[in-house]
Amino acid sequence: MIQITFPDGSIKAFEPPVTGEDVARSISEGLARNAVAMEVDGRLVDLYWTIDEDARVRLITVKDPEALKILRHSAAHVMAQAILRLYPDAKLTIGPVVEGGFYYDIDMEPLSEDDFPKIEAEIAKIVKEKIPIRRQEVSKQKAKEFYRDEPYKLEMIEDLPDGTISFYNQGEFTDLCRGPHLPHTGFVKAIKLMKVSGAYWRADQSKAQLQRVYGTAFFNKKELDEYLHFLEEAKRRNHRKIGEAQDLFSFHDEAPGMAFIHPKGMVVWNMLLDYWRVEHQAAGYVETKTPIILKRVLWERSGHWENYRENMYTTAVDDEEYAIKPMNCPGGMLLYRSRHHSYRELPIRAAEIGLVHRHELSGVLSGLFRVRAFHQDDAHLFMMPDQIQKEILDLLRLEERIYHTFGLGFHLELSTRPEKSIGTDEQWEQATEGLRSALEAYGQPYQVNEGDGAFYGPKIDFHIRDALGRTWQCGTIQLDMSLPERFDLTYVDRDNERRRPIMIHRTVYGSIERFMGILVEHFAGKFPLWMAPVQAVLLPINDELVGYAREINGVLSQAGLRTEVDDRSESLNKKIREAQLQNIPLMLTIGAKEKEAGTLAVRTLDGKVKYGVSREAFIEAVTDHVRQRKLELDLFE
């Protein structure tokens, strides 16, 4: 008999050999129906893997996070099997799982989305057949014999080390694969082909061009429908589309990856910075500014020339080499060194909205999300060792407060020392422990990413969550004991001795351009009143009332409101509709009745109308709403 230990610590005896299906069925038929794989002594394997000695076993069901990846891996095989049934001359290459689904690269005749219905119909047949998916292990030589007529698989096998190689069989279909996979094809109940594009074998333009067929899969149709709805909603919220429609920003071939911010976009930009400055001033920060171009010797001293050179733009001035800054840190070091410091001054919190440039490949540029020139809301904090925990705690609370103002949730990740780094083991250990202890005191859960820190120090990253549930890495807190040493930064301690300060690099928005793009999609272009480029549009119902509308507009503008008049000779309904398309929060209808009474009819973007509002009451309501930076448009509730 062998003993199987389950995650809850319970133990059950079995006659060997035993499969995962046997283990699941011994517990309940329901578990057996929903189990898709298992973890044996920490290794993820197929449900039909045989266990012949004592082991710790965790059964993976359709509800476990690992299950979706296993499903999509198997769905890629099901799609490939369907394509081979319809196109017998096709040659398979690789079919990995990717974010949101899977794809398979296939050497075959050109496909289009018009071909998808017949492929999906064949997929449905394979799913209905509930074909068992079984693993087979063979020698490398036998694998080469099996794939002697499959050049791509043969090339992959040649690259593998000597030893056994695993295949997966499902009916007439066999694929080279590590697994694990579902027990049978019947689990692939909700699958949809998404798109097809070209791809070169092994990303080499000198090699064959393949058909890359993308798909996605879920365990039930409801989840698939929700995902497709999510994609449609994300498409509707696309910040590039909204940015163009609302005249916020643009990109031009003369400056690839560098955003041109339009006047209305600058309103959003300035509202972000105004709020940032209010919060930072209250938190005891001073604001600084450093040059964009600095000598190569500075970047060599900071370590960027050695560790970040490929991402930097360089130039020559007076026969001397310079670099355009990819980050603000070295300039911040020079600022600190510009005078002597006492322990009484610490902590020093110096912030900078710095324009930086980084050479991103053209293929990865993506609207405001991935650019070559952007503004970092950087800050460098200098402190004594006994101030570390309090400063990090204060930072965590500052970032939480700012994100919540925009209705953004977040989760935290702690990233530790990467393979390529500067500094001593002792420095890294002290810095990492400083971040870890602050996170523990903060009391919120966090994830540890081993080896994912910056080359100069460990870091805490904020991954914010938008209205669609997507996550974006924005804020970061990086503890650095290396740069202060490289730049010989010191302060005079209580005992009149010179000490090395501890330094924190920190951002909240990260990139202001990127954060602005995130907010465009988060709000779907419907900015809260305090951020809206145009807060209210006045709509005179006829040409005779245009002059009066302009008079009112002047009063509102004098009160600090961002308003404009739609003086076109169009119908009121058309003006309202176009204001709604521009996502202007407030529409003020001006008719003869309003002129006579000296009031406003206020229509909000959601269609609610409040009649008989005095100018004074309107200005007070809007001003108070903006002051509180409210998200909901509840002016008169």
Distance of CA 295 to the CA centre of its chain: 34
pLDDT confidence band for 31 (50 / 70 / 90): very high
Catalytic residue among 81, 170, 246, 376: 376
- What is the per-residue DSSP string for 42-68? TEEEETT-EE-S-EEEEEEETTSHHHH
**pLDDT for 423 beyond 80:** no
pLDDT given at position 380: 96
Whole-angstrom distance, CA of residue 467 vs CA of residue 465:
7
Burial of 292 (0-12, 13-18, 19+ CB in 10 A): middle
357 catalytic residue (yes or no): no
pLDDT given at position 126: 97
pLDDT given at position 361: 85
Give the number of other CB atoms < 10 A from CB of residue 34: 18
**CATH level 3 topology of 536-627:** Rossmann fold (3.40.50)
Phi/psi zone of residue 474: left (φ > 0), alpha (ψ -120 to 50 degrees), beta? alpha
Cβ contact 37:47 at 8 Å? yes
Nearest Cα neighbor of 62 from 95, 5, 24 is 24
**pLDDT for 635 beyond 90:** no
2-59 and 536-627 have identical folds: no
pLDDT given at position 550: 95
Pick the CATH number of 66-231 from 3.90.1410.10, 3.30.70.980, 3.30.750.24, 3.30.980.10: 3.30.980.10
Whole-angstrom distance, CA of residue 516 vs CA of residue 511:
8
**pLDDT for 214 beyond 90:** yes
- What is the per-residue DSSP string for 261-308? E-HHHHHHHHHHHHHHHHHHHHTT-EEE---SEEEHHHHHHHTHHHHS
Whole-angstrom distance, CA of residue 151 vs CA of residue 158:
10
Mean pLDDT of 14-23: 92
DSSP, res 15: P
Residue 147's SS3 state is: coil
Catalytic residue among 58, 181, 372, 380: 380
Catalytic residue among 358, 370, 372, 522: 358
CATH class entry, domain 2-59: alpha beta
252 catalytic residue (yes or no): no
Catalytic residue among 72, 280, 459, 562: 459
Mean pLDDT of 351-373: 91
221 catalytic residue (yes or no): no
pLDDT given at position 246: 95
Whole-angstrom distance, CA of residue 298 vs CA of residue 286:
24
329 catalytic residue (yes or no): yes
* 538-562 confidence digits (pLDDT tens): 999 999 999 999 999 999 999 999 9
177 catalytic residue (yes or no): no
Bridging pattern class, strands 209-218 and 101-107: antiparallel
Q: Which residue has the higher pLDDT, 345 or 480?
A: 345
pLDDT given at position 599: 92
Q: And the tokens for 329?
A: 């840190």
77 catalytic residue (yes or no): no
* 459-497 confidence digits (pLDDT tens): 999 999 998 888 999 999 988 877 898 899 999 999 999
**Mean of all residue pLDDT scores within the chain:** 93
Catalytic residue among 77, 212, 329, 461: 329
Catalytic residue among 153, 349, 375, 505: 505
Residue boundaries of the structural domains of the chain: 2-59, 66-231, 266-290+325-522, 536-627
358 catalytic residue (yes or no): yes
Catalytic residue among 378, 461, 480, 566: 378
Cβ contact 341:348 at 8 Å? yes
Is the torsion defined by CA of 174, 177, 182, 186 positive or negative? negative
**pLDDT for 151 beyond 90:** yes
Pick the CATH number of 266-290+325-522 from 2.60.120.260, 2.60.40.1080, 3.30.930.10, 3.40.50.1970: 3.30.930.10
